[in-house]
Structure 1
Amino acid sequence: MSVALENRIEVLRAHRHFRPGTVDRFARFITTAPEEALFRTSPLHFAADAGVPENEAIDLFLRATHAGILEFTWGLLCPWCGAFLTTPAALRSLSRERDCQMCRVSVRTEDDTMEVAFSVAPAVRRIRFHQPDSLDLQRDLLALMFSQSRTVPENIRQLLGESVLESISLPPGGVHRFTQRLEAGRIYFLAAPIHHVYCKLEVSADEGVSSVDAELMDGRMLPGLVKVRAGEVSLTIHNRTPDAARVALVKFWFTSSQLSCDIPSMTRGSTMRRYFSGKRLVTHQTFRELFRAESIPSEGGLEFKSMTVLFTDLKGSTELYERIGDMRAYGLVREHFGVLRDLIAEQGGSMVKTIGDAVMASFAEPTPALEAATAMTREVRRVSREGAQLQLKVGLHTGPCIAVELNERLDYFGQTVNVAARVQGVAGADEIAITEPVYAAPGAQDIIRAAELNATRERALLKGVEGETTVYRLR
């Protein structure tokens, strides 16, 4: 293990929340894993392979990133081919959609299209992917183009490797000419895989050009589509970017007819493992605490199709200040915030803000939020039995919302937030109030039974919400 890595690993060892052995497993992973396993990897995959709980693995990867062991990259996943469309400047540069030039479709920035991947930092271990312009594309095309969460059958891997006919590192301002005999009925690409840009070449037996000039620009290749005549073709590419780029002539691994009518059978066996989504990242407490500089795109924020918002309110705090005095009461309320923050973090959520004696928290999914809510009420009951005489009111709702940057912190807006706040107002003392989407979420009934709670269904009028809302009181 290098000195640079050893010093950073010691920072992780000092963190009290990791179980014995977790950091040692991670250190072995960084030092011994194959290079391709350290490029755009996922904490969820590490968790499954190393037998570590997912939330602990996420916390570990984020703290390792903060310590300079890992670097993270945001990407949009093409739903058709699984391409990992990178966003070099991370969260702040995400746009509302991105084009997959291979599939010629637009990919919207949504919950299920954002993946966050991690690569080892060059300061602790150099791997070939740190110099993408020098990669052997016959070996690394798959890793460079696609999400590492996609499992690809060996026959497709072999086809991908054989598809690269020629590749070259092209310096800024450089020009290169490929000369190849192209077959009718096939599809070829002039490609810069690291930039995810392509000029698609459709080959016909009796029409099209025999000479193509293409330009690699920042974020695109021009032209994007050319019809060429079968036979010997001259393909010239100009690098108009300020950086060296690995460019290639790629023969698509399916024929035109296969692509149009039999693609499902050709790709059978290719599946997506669970990946670490952008939504799960931004709702994680460690990300919120360590990466405050990561800002939301200024144009309209970041949309989530589904997020769970939790509100709490501490009943009895006013009387507490009167009964035991400001200093002691303030200390107890602050301690309550710390307990709630830890319970939220244990379930993979994050405390968004405190409002007086109330807490707002966000979760990627409903069931972890419900787990946190039941743990909160149990803990406040315990404190109350010890004489604090505090009671918690909790409200949860799941739905779409918008993440925005407010006062240099990540915050959430939209009707889902409003409903969650109003539902918390419906809850009585020592009670959890949840909406239908939370109650109906997979696993919610198991959590309610395990917590020995009784659910009472009612219809409630919520301020600012049209019509009645179904609310379940859990007590």
Structure 2
Amino acid sequence: MKTGIDEAELDKRLATLETVRAWSPRVMSKLESFLRTADDRELYRINPLAFGTERGIAEAEAIDLFLHASSLGLFEMDWLLVCPLCACIVESFGSLRTLEKHYRCALCRTDYEAVLDDYITITFTVCANVRRIRFHDPDALPARDYCFQCRVTLDGVTPDGKPWMDHFAAATPEVRFIQPHAVERIEIDVGEGTLLGWDFDADDGFEFTVAEDAPPAPRPLSVGYDDRSCEPATGRIAPGRIVLEIRNASARRRLFGLTVTSPGFSHPDILFRPFLTGKRLLTTQTFRTLFRSELIRASEGIGVKDITLLFTDLKSSTALYDRIGDLSAFSLVQQHFDRLRDVTVANGGTVIKTIGDAVMAAFLNPRDAVAAAVAMLDEMERFNRDHVDRPLILKIGLHKGASIAVTSNDQLDYFGQAVNIAARVQGLAQAEEIYLTRDVHDYPGVGELLEPFVVERRTAHLKGVNLEMPVFRVAGGGSLTPAARLR
């Protein structure tokens, strides 16, 4: 038995997880093996996309696996703000509700605005009551382990595909904690280049140029930190053995690092392995179902650079209520919601909300959204075969663009011009029609989906948003007739 595993808790939670949905063959056994045999670092801040790739599990199923497992207490979910320049983890939040819109990387001294598309990564760590690992108590870790295992993401790589963390660590011969009001003495041999002293959690630090024509460094070279600054912050010293005396005059423990770079050093571009972004998570129906309490508390919301929005509505639904009565019509409408939700999920999207008889759904990209729209009309055609005396006639509109994720009526929602345009475009549609904006129509792969059908280009003035723009009408439902496309 692996040390630290609570067998009863693990067995109980795995047994429940197995029942929550139909998993692909061996998915559960792969997860159990991982929980039992992986080392502590592998069980800390797991990238679910990498986990799935390495084990032959489809990406969507891997995300679902970790979401369900988290809801059952096998893992804890962590929201991380990552610096795109140095791949360090600037902030870690246990919940979306505590995520900040603005953040600053003290190492790079750069400010960022958090957006759900980029550099917000969601990871998962095994729960301590299932299997205890040393990363459950990060303050007890050695300084070097804490620095490179907890404060730098493994997903950052250099252009040659090697982990950026390895390069960073190799150039950083000294990492240590300096207690409040304490002094640390460091001796180090340095050649020509730059000697950098830094602290992940503060903007203060020093940068000394090491050059043959510079004067020898004092022995010791004393550097003092207080709550707001470092003195001296710059200087020139000759190569050789340096004796540093680092004084921490502040009331907090510092994580102090010393990095040495060679002359002419140029910081490499850092690439990132695919990771679970905030946008991807918020367009996953499983997340919205299992974590309804996850709300955005940032007063301004959090930006999304690009999201595809789909609106549906029912034609003449008021007449349907009048004709068959409220109870019967309400039952039909609820059944239609269930069908549209299933189609949305099957095509990689999520239902954001229902408004009366209408549905608002979100997708990562237009191709998935258009595939869902076509499938919705097909699904409603099948539905109406069983309700020939009271059919539900669907209308659909799609648009893509920037938006803001907000909390509205205690649920995650989207707000902004892209939402307004998508809703107005849906309003153009008549019975069994799909309307697309140009941004959706021109997206790679959409043309292939629509190739068998008549597509008519029009110009529309969208009321309420004061825009005149090209739109594309796709005749749908029973009239979804194969034909040469009209442009």
TM range (shorter): 0.7 to 0.9
Q: Deviations over 1:3-60 (max 9, x none)?
A: 2222111221111243333222222222222332222222221222222222222122
CA contact (8 A) 1:377 1:430 kept: yes
User: Does 2:167 align with 1:131?
Assistant: no
Deviates more, 1:22-31 or 1:437-446: 22-31
Sort the Cα spacing of 1:368 and 1:240 in 2 relative to 1 into closer, same or farther, 3 A.
Answer: farther
Q: Following TM superposition, by how much is the alpha carbon of 1:163 offset from its aligned partner in structure 2, in angstroms? A: 3.8
Q: Deviations over 1:413-450 (max 9, x none)?
A: 1111110011101112111111111111222223324x
Aligned to 2:363: 363
**Counterpart-to-counterpart distance in 2, 1:151 and 1:64:** 28
CA contact (8 A) 2:308 2:362 kept: yes
Aligned to 1:305: 305
**Counterpart-to-counterpart distance in 1, 2:353 and 2:16:** 28
Q: Deviations over 1:385-424 (max 9, x none)?
A: 2224112111111011111112211121111111001110
SS of equivalent to 1:299: coil
Q: Following TM superposition, by how much is the alpha carbon of 1:379 offset from its aligned partner in structure 2, in angstroms? A: 0.6
Q: Deviations over 1:432-469 (max 9, x none)?
A: 111111111222223324xx433211111110233421
CA contact (8 A) 2:176 2:257 kept: no
Aligned to 2:262: 255
User: Does 2:314 align with 1:314?
Assistant: yes
Sort the Cα spacing of 1:199 and 1:294 in 2 relative to 1 into closer, same or farther, 3 A.
Answer: farther
Q: Deviations over 1:119-161 (max 9, x none)?
A: 2222222223222233345566443333222235559665444
CA contact (8 A) 1:41 1:148 kept: no
User: Does 2:219 align with 1:214?
Assistant: no
CA contact (8 A) 1:214 1:236 kept: yes
SS of equivalent to 2:425: helix
SS of equivalent to 2:248: strand
1:152-171 paired onto structure 2 within 5 Å = 159-169=167-177
User: What root-mean-square deviation, in Å, do the aligned CA atoms of Structure 1 and Structure 2 show?
Assistant: 2.9
Aligned to 1:72: 77
Q: Return the letter of the residue paired with 1:401.
A: S
Aligned to 1:13: 18
SS of equivalent to 1:179: strand
Sort the Cα spacing of 1:229 and 1:178 in 2 relative to 1 into closer, same or farther, 3 A.
Answer: farther
CA contact (8 A) 1:72 1:117 kept: yes
Aligned to 1:146: 152
**Counterpart-to-counterpart distance in 1, 2:14 and 2:181:** 42
User: Does 2:50 align with 1:45?
Assistant: yes
Aligned to 1:175: 182
> More helix by proportion, 1 or 2?
1
**Counterpart-to-counterpart distance in 2, 1:400 and 1:213:** 46
CA contact (8 A) 2:303 2:404 kept: yes
Q: Following TM superposition, by how much is the alpha carbon of 1:235 offset from its aligned partner in structure 2, in angstroms? A: 1.0
Count of matched residue positions in the alignment of Structure 1 and Structure 2: 456
**Counterpart-to-counterpart distance in 1, 2:334 and 2:350:** 17
Sort the Cα spacing of 1:154 and 1:335 in 2 relative to 1 into closer, same or farther, 3 A.
Answer: closer
Residue in structure 1 matching 2:121, options 108, 115, 124? 115
CA contact (8 A) 2:437 2:470 kept: yes
User: Does 2:251 align with 1:240?
Assistant: yes
Aligned to 1:56: 61
What TM-score do you get using the length of structure 1 for normalisation?
0.86
Q: Return the letter of the residue paired with 1:240.
A: A
SS of equivalent to 2:85: coil
**Counterpart-to-counterpart distance in 1, 2:34 and 2:265:** 40
Task: Calculate percent identity across the aligned residue pairs.
Answer: 35
Sort the Cα spacing of 1:123 and 1:229 in 2 relative to 1 into closer, same or farther, 3 A.
Answer: farther
Aligned to 2:432: 430
**Counterpart-to-counterpart distance in 2, 1:136 and 1:143:** 10
CA contact (8 A) 1:137 1:161 kept: no
CA contact (8 A) 1:296 1:405 kept: yes
Structure 1 runs not aligned, ≥5 long: none
CA contact (8 A) 1:185 1:202 kept: no
CA contact (8 A) 1:139 1:161 kept: no
Sort the Cα spacing of 1:332 and 1:159 in 2 relative to 1 into closer, same or farther, 3 A.
Answer: closer
1:327-342 paired onto structure 2 within 5 Å = 327-342=327-342
CA contact (8 A) 1:85 1:196 kept: no
CA contact (8 A) 2:155 2:163 kept: no
CA contact (8 A) 1:75 1:84 kept: yes
Q: Return the letter of the residue paired with 2:223.
A: V
Q: Return the letter of the residue paired with 2:124.
A: F
Q: Following TM superposition, by how much is the alpha carbon of 1:229 offset from its aligned partner in structure 2, in angstroms? A: 4.9
**Counterpart-to-counterpart distance in 2, 1:404 and 1:7:** 36
